[in-house]
């Protein structure tokens, strides 16, 4: 079946709620499908006891989800924008992340936080950020970042069935387009471990990217290869915590060069950690320093000007050419 990412998320929610009656959904406007429609039909199908409509209070309904999880359920907490997680930082970082530790391993909090993020909608500085790195420094949290429709479906189910709190980030601009064929008969639920996928094989440059930068990297890679006669390997990590470092290291040791792309600001973005790992693990094989490409250190403008803040296809192409035409 061919579908876009939003439909794939809806499919995953129906599949997982049919499979496990302990899965519930909580958040704003979810009785009408949520802000982006990917929860459409759930309220009517599963009822108010499993699809819980809340007031506009991210700190409140996120805190409530901790108690629901301690009570033996698997809450899926829906955020209208990932940026709004700032209101829920304490219940996520100081409570959910430490639930297993504080209970001496006797209890866990299987909570999934759905976090639509990134640019492409012209939504402004408080609705367009990529905030994975806000949470990456917190032990006890896992971070999924799938991009394609098929991966949104499978990794959302993996996140919900995981025994720890998982932040599930996806790019609104990609989920609203890029339709993909999905085998709905395949009910495999992947592991969040060793999740990276080589989506394009190559021999001369490794590119690690997710969300819009991943799609843009794939779009320009063939152009760059035609111009240089060299080939590019593109890796989609799909999960940031735990990070599948083994696949990335093996690729960089083969190519000798690495480019890391994301929409978060370059300063402090998760790419900083990836580049540090590459430098530590692949130093002897590197033919050039690792290159990082993120957004500018600026607030995201509203409307069309937002594109000046984010790395575009042209920026990624230029970075690839610089890497391939260098040493």
112 and 141 housed in the same domain: yes
| DSSP 8-state class, residue 300 | P
Domain enclosing residue 153, as ranges = 2-181
> What value does the mean pLDDT take over residues 300-305?
93
Nearest-5° angle of CA 313, CA 316, CA 322? 140
pLDDT of 69 reads: 96
152 and 210 housed in the same domain: no
- Prediction pTM value: 0.97
Residue 191 lies in a domain: no
Q: Sort 236 into a burial class: Cβ within 10 Å, 0-12 / 13-18 / 19+.
A: buried
Q: Is residue 271 within 8 Å of 217, Cβ to Cβ?
A: no
135 and 261 housed in the same domain: no
- How many domains does the chain divide into? 2
| CATH label of the domain that carries residue 240 | 3.40.50.920
pLDDT of 26 reads: 98
| CATH label of the domain that carries residue 29 | 3.40.50.970
pLDDT of 326 reads: 80
Domain boundary among 156, 181, 206: 181
126 and 265 housed in the same domain: no
Residue 327, pLDDT above cutoff 60: no
Q: Residues 200-246: pLDDT tens digits?
A: 999 999 999 999 999 999 999 999 999 999 999 999 999 999 999 99
pLDDT of 137 reads: 96
Residues in Cβ contact with 105 at an 8 Å cutoff, skipping those fewer than 6 apart: none
Residues in Cβ contact with 168 at an 8 Å cutoff, skipping those fewer than 6 apart: 112, 113, 114, 115, 144, 155, 156, 159
């Amino acid at each position: 079946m061919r579908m876009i990412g939003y439909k794939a998320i809806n499919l995953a929610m129906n599949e997982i709620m049919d499979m496990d009656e302990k899965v519930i959904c909580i958040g704003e406007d979810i009785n009408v499908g949520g802000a982006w429609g990917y929860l459409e039909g759930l309220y009517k199908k599963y009822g108010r006891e499993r699809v819980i409509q809340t007031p506009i209070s991210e700190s409140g309904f996120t805190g409530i989800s901790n108690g629901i999880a301690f009570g033996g359920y698997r809450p899926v907490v829906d955020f209208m924008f990932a940026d709004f997680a700032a209101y829920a930082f304490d219940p996520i970082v100081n409570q959910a992340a430490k639930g297993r530790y504080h209970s001496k391993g006797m209890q866990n909090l299987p909570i999934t936080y759905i976090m639509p993020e990134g640019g492409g909608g012209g939504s402004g500085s408080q609705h367009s950020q990529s905030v994975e790195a806000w949470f990456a420094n917190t032990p006890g949290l896992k971070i999924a970042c799938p991009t394609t429709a098929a991966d949104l479906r499978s990794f959302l189910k993996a996140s919900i069935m995981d025994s720890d709190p998982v932040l599930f980030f996806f790019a609104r601009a990609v989920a609203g387009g890029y339709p993909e064929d999905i085998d709905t008969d395949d009910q495999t639920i992947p592991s969040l471990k060793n999740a990276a996928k080589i989506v394009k094989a190559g021999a001369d440059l490794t590119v690690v990217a997710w969300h819009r930068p991943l799609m843009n990297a794939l779009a320009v890679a063939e152009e760059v290869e035609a111009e240089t006669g060299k080939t590019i390997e593109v890796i989609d990590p799909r999960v940031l915590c735990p990070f599948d470092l083994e696949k990335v290291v093996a690729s960089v040791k083969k190519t000798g060069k690495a480019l890391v792309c994301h929409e978060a600001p370059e300063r402090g973005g998760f790419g900083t950690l990836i580049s540090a790992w590459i430098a530590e693990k692949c130093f002897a094989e590197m033919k050039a320093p690792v290159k990082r490409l993120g957004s500018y250190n600026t607030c995201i403008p509203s409307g069309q000007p937002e594109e000046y803040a984010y790395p575009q296809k042209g920026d990624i192409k230029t970075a690839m050419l610089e890497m391939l035409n260098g040493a």
